[in-house]
Structure 1
Amino acid sequence: MNTAHRPRRLAAAVLAAALAGTGLTVAVAPAAHAAAGDSVAKLPFTSYSALAVDNVHQRVFLADANVGSSSNTGQIAVYTFAGERISTISVSYHVSGLALSADASTLYVGERYRLFTYDTTTLALKTATGVNTDQCGREVVVAGGKPYYTSQYTDYPAQCSTATSYLDTAAGGAWQRTGWNDAGKLLLESGPNDTFVMGQALNSSAANPFVSVFDGSGETPVRNATRRFADADGKGALNLKDIAVSPDGAKVALADAAAGTRLLNTGDLSEAATGYQALPAGATASSVAFGGDGKYIARGASATGSTPDLLVQPADPSDATAPLEFVFEGSQDGDRVVPRGMEWSADGSRLFAVTTNTAGNQYWLHIIQPPAVQYDARFTGGLTHSPAQAVAGEPLAVRGKLEQDGPAPAEPLKVKATRTDATGTHDLGTFTVKADGTFTVLDEPDLIGDATYTVSYLGDLTHRPAEDITTTVNVGKAPTSIALTAPEEGSLSTGVQITGTFTAQGKTLPDRAVLKVTRTDRLGTGTLSSVTVAADGTFTIDDLPRTRGDADYTVSWPGDDLHTGSSASATVYVRR
């Protein structure tokens, strides 16, 4: 059967390295997540081109591209929704695009010389229509009850990136050109109501690629909205890797290797009012897919190390629920999500994602089942802090408790905290929630005055976000102290030596403290030379008294913006 089933694993810290001996981890940022099922099948391919999901018969079809030579054969692997391979369809030449009829009764397959159709129940060949030769791998969609597919002819495979792609169609056992064509690969993605989207891959003959929406309901496709993305200086051009259309047809999402995940309004392809957050640093967009029920979106990426390769999150970009973040890293799972490598089941219960290794010669099918039930979470009991008097530049602990309904999470939840003070709002990062629900936010405030701490739980695919909780802490100046060691007696001839130690808590002083020294005797009070504190906090005062009797020495420091002032005194009896 060549499949592996295991529960989803969470990394121990944000973007933690893959667990030893495993290939898949799930990073925790910015909030922890509940478990998601993950089944993995190793594909019998050394190349990949297309994925199609049959929701009626619960089958997944995957095509082995194998382009590059007219002698290359092709194959289509067929899996169940559980990840079991049930059949392999072999064809005489390389095979690429896959598409299903609206009723899922027919599978369309793009081959080098022909367009095949297969019965999705029996997997038997139904028709083979001769079409224009394709050297580079076809894209196939179905709209208006007929297939549309691309054709590229070149003398050498190296020319595929810039060779002209033609959009063709086949109906009634014959093929015909639609008249639409352009340089390089043209990606096709079907949408609802007999629409489809065409996007051009970036190449040396297309410095400013396009995306266009087509109506395929009639005899010939009609282009509606179209857009290019580069500005007047040529910057911002699209580097397209994948296209997805929302189930209601209102939005188009693009996996743009240059800009991440773009979200567009289908009507005019303008930017949506609210877009998705950026992919994690170091991740390059490679694939995108809307859930069949419109609830979630999957955003695939190419990343290395412990950087997430896949985010599964609410399709509504204004929903702040933290995404599930998957890291694919290792010989059991692949290293990244391939372009055009994701599709959902119609009910949104399963995501099918294809990954590949660094070399791009091995492939895996991941069947991911996000949790379907969401439970409530809430903060209880308010926030407390210690020490009771916060001071600038010293550690402060803010404590609270988060309660969550439903089963215990597989890994600890995390909360996010910020501090707002006179200079604005500062992100303090994420903090682990213990098994009893308690958490501790650690900070070191650096300004005196009020500091408001806000703790958030953003939720995940199993838990709803909790209402934020806040507390305001008055941050005072850090204390300082001066300790003196003085002799009981001194003399007019040998003088007086006093040593001492200056201590400042909180933030380190920008410069060494300079202490004021005064002496009061029977002749009055006078100011002596100031003394600079050494790096270890010590200092020494040497004085030649001017008269006999008691001499009171006072050492003081006035304080600064973050520290209180301090002083200390000592009395020495001066003899002749």
Structure 2
Amino acid sequence: MRISTFARSAATPAASLALAVALLGLPCATSPAHADGNAVLPVEAYGDIVVDDIHRHVFLSDPTGDSVVVTDFDGTVIKEIENADGAFGLALSADSSTVYVALRDAGAVAALSTDSLTESGRWTTGEGSQPQHLAVTGGKVFFGYGATGSGRIGSLDPAAATPVELALPAGNGWYYAPELTASPAAPNTLVAGELGLSPATVAVYDAAGGTLARRAHAWNPGEGGSSNLRDMAISADGKDVILASGSPYKHQAFKLGDLSASGTYTSDAYPNAVAVAPDGTVAGGIDGFYEPDVYVFRPGTQTPFRTYEFAGSTDYATLRPNGLAFTADSTRLFAVTDTSAGDIALRILVDANKADATLALSAPATSRPNRTLTVTGTLTSPDPLPAGAQVSVTRTGPADGIVTELPTATVAADGTFTVTDRPSHTGTYTYRVAFAGDAHHRPASAEVSVSVQR
């Protein structure tokens, strides 16, 4: 289980149309294109994903191909680490020096050096133990293990005289090897959940000192219950755990203290993935053909400010369970998808924590010299814009492409703004208005042209 540790540019048909409209002096609305990526992976199956921001690497496990694939942040494969029998769950050490991998078919947990991208250690968890899910907290690596009907939690402390402990805490068992998640935002806390069962079961443990003591337990959590758990993540403030379950058709949040309901994130059928960025952004994914695949939210809000649809006209891509992960700067979201060709791909979603902004401009088609002309505009976004947002304004023309900077305009609370000018010569003047963007919004720009005639 991943643990939160926290250009190309081309004119689209829509942008070309907007420019053509602008040249006619009619209302014009544009927002900038952004360069997301998509890379087919050399894997037979997918287990887990973890992001190493120090080395700018993404690790993905392949339980069928017995390997861990390492890519850079653009999806280019750097290395395939082999001899990883049944490689499944992944977890990054607190200092980012090691990626731990659960070797389901070898009955072991291995350590991979993030510097050399080679195996640096391996610890057996017992014959037939089948370790599958990992999380780092409380100074140890915890692993969910066990065959069907005998799931348990164990721990690994590489520095201890007896590195591996099994059956933690005593008397607590699971039907399947439990999924695990942890986060530095909630120190010494481990969350465990049972995947694929209806109803779902979730438990929260205190892991201080590397021991486990159950803090909270919920069977069929939430109003109306929860079934077919697929993924979990802890909120950036360390107060909630967010579940992606096949039912209900939304992502649910529960308080880590007692697993009482804390809120919901509106998505669609069937939730199968969730990731939380250090800045609090929540990405919830679903297993769906006809709806957006990923929904992106501000923390504690019910309405997404961004969605992603992976299916194209010829590619019916769907999101893999447990297939989302953010970078530490919160700007890049990785998504693991199936493709209609039968491959597994890594999607690189740039500026995923930022909402689009759209500028719309309107101006008279013609004006006369030395008369005041007015360009009006609106700046809108699905995520509220900051009070007093400003846009820059330039004027080009009427000859030799001379660019003149005009005073900035302040955007009113309703998103409107006004630009005035008094051109003195005849010819065509083009006004370009730009919003620089901010921590929550992407940049946007638009142009409109006016013909000044006698």
Q: TM-score, normalised by structure 2?
A: 0.67
Match of 1:39 among 18, 37, 40: 37
1:15 maps to none
- CA separation in 1, counterparts of 2:10 and 2:82? 34
**2:152·2:177 contact (CA, 8 Å) conserved in 1?**
no
Matches within 5 A, 1:346-357: 346-357=328-339
Shift of 1:184: 2.1
Identity of aligned residues (%): 27
Alignment-mate amino acid for residue 298 of structure 1: A
Shift of 1:133: 3.8
Q: Residues 302 and 313 of structure 1: is their aligned pair in 2 closer, same or farther, counting only changes over 3 Å?
A: same
1:176 maps to 165
Matches within 5 A, 1:184-195: 184-192=176-184, 193-195=187-189
Matches within 5 A, 1:51-450: 51-66=49-64, 74-91=66-83, 93-111=85-103, 112=105, 113-133=107-127, 138-153=132-147, 162-171=148-157, 172=160, 174-177=163-166, 178=168, 179=170, 180-192=172-184, 193-203=187-197, 207-229=198-220, 236-259=225-248, 260-272=250-262, 274-277=263-266, 279-280=267-268, 283-294=269-280, 296-305=281-290, 307-317=291-301, 322-329=304-311, 335-357=317-339, 361-370=342-351, 402-403=378-379
**1:49·1:97 contact (CA, 8 Å) conserved in 2?**
yes
- CA separation in 2, counterparts of 1:379 and 1:211? 48
Shift of 1:134: 5.0
Q: Residues 236 and 56 of structure 1: is their aligned pair in 2 closer, same or farther, counting only changes over 3 Å?
A: same
Shift of 1:351: 0.7
- CA separation in 2, counterparts of 1:124 and 1:181? 34
- CA separation in 1, counterparts of 2:298 and 2:47? 27
Q: Residues 371 and 299 of structure 1: is their aligned pair in 2 closer, same or farther, counting only changes over 3 Å?
A: closer
- CA separation in 1, counterparts of 2:95 and 2:217? 29
Q: Residues 59 and 463 of structure 1: is their aligned pair in 2 closer, same or farther, counting only changes over 3 Å?
A: closer
- CA separation in 2, counterparts of 1:462 and 1:351? 16
- CA separation in 1, counterparts of 2:258 and 2:210? 23
1:384 maps to none
**2:36·2:350 contact (CA, 8 Å) conserved in 1?**
yes
- CA separation in 1, counterparts of 2:66 and 2:392? 46
Match of 2:441 among 433, 446, 462: 462
Q: Residues 461 and 327 of structure 1: is their aligned pair in 2 closer, same or farther, counting only changes over 3 Å?
A: farther
Q: TM-score, normalised by structure 1?
A: 0.54
Shift of 1:59: 1.0
Question: After superposition, what is the alpha-carbon deviation per residue over 1:449-508, rounded to whole angstroms, capped at 9, x for unaligned?
Answer: xxxxxxxxxxx95279xxxxxxxxxxxxxxxxxxxxxxxxxxxxxxxxxxxxxxxxxxxx
Shift of 1:218: 1.8
Question: After superposition, what is the alpha-carbon deviation per residue over 1:214-253, rounded to whole angstroms, capped at 9, x for unaligned?
Answer: 2222242121122122699xx6343211101012211211
Shift of 1:108: 0.7
State the SS of the aligned residue for 2:260: coil
**2:31·2:357 contact (CA, 8 Å) conserved in 1?**
no
Shift of 1:377: 7.6
**2:145·2:177 contact (CA, 8 Å) conserved in 1?**
no
**1:308·1:325 contact (CA, 8 Å) conserved in 2?**
yes
Question: After superposition, what is the alpha-carbon deviation per residue over 1:396-425, rounded to whole angstroms, capped at 9, x for unaligned?
Answer: xxxx973456699xxxxxxxxxxxxxxxxx
Alignment-mate amino acid for residue 103 of structure 1: D
State the SS of the aligned residue for 2:247: coil
- Cα RMSD of the aligned pairs, angstroms, is 3.8
- CA separation in 1, counterparts of 2:235 and 2:13? 31
**1:313·1:461 contact (CA, 8 Å) conserved in 2?**
no
- CA separation in 1, counterparts of 2:68 and 2:313? 23
**1:35·1:371 contact (CA, 8 Å) conserved in 2?**
no
Corresponding pairs, count: 349
1:548 maps to none
Q: Residues 372 and 257 of structure 1: is their aligned pair in 2 closer, same or farther, counting only changes over 3 Å?
A: closer
Alignment-mate amino acid for residue 343 of structure 2: Q
Shift of 1:87: 0.7
Question: After superposition, what is the alpha-carbon deviation per residue over 1:379-408, rounded to whole angstroms, capped at 9, x for unaligned?
Answer: 999xxxxxxxxxxxxxxxxxx973456699
**1:108·1:116 contact (CA, 8 Å) conserved in 2?**
yes
1:505 maps to none
**1:334·1:355 contact (CA, 8 Å) conserved in 2?**
no
Shift of 1:174: 3.2
Q: Residues 231 and 324 of structure 1: is their aligned pair in 2 closer, same or farther, counting only changes over 3 Å?
A: closer
State the SS of the aligned residue for 2:208: coil
- CA separation in 2, counterparts of 1:239 and 1:144? 28
- CA separation in 2, counterparts of 1:342 and 1:90? 23
Shift of 1:299: 1.0
Alignment-mate amino acid for residue 127 of structure 1: G
Worse-matched range after superposition: 101-110 or 178-187: 178-187
State the SS of the aligned residue for 2:258: coil
State the SS of the aligned residue for 1:328: coil
**1:34·1:461 contact (CA, 8 Å) conserved in 2?**
no
Greater RCO (CA < 8 Å, at least 6 residues apart): 2
Shift of 1:336: 1.3
Alignment-mate amino acid for residue 216 of structure 1: A
1:388 maps to none
- CA separation in 2, counterparts of 1:166 and 1:138? 11
Q: Residues 174 and 377 of structure 1: is their aligned pair in 2 closer, same or farther, counting only changes over 3 Å?
A: closer
Question: After superposition, what is the alpha-carbon deviation per residue over 1:91-130, rounded to whole angstroms, capped at 9, x for unaligned?
Answer: 1521111111101111111112221112111112221111
Alignment-mate amino acid for residue 146 of structure 1: K
Structure 1 unaligned residues grouped into runs of 5+: 13-31, 67-72, 154-161, 382-399, 409-432, 437-459, 465-576
- Structure ranking higher in strand proportion: 1
Question: After superposition, what is the alpha-carbon deviation per residue over 1:538-571, rounded to whole angstroms, capped at 9, x for unaligned?
Answer: xxxxxxxxxxxxxxxxxxxxxxxxxxxxxxxxxx
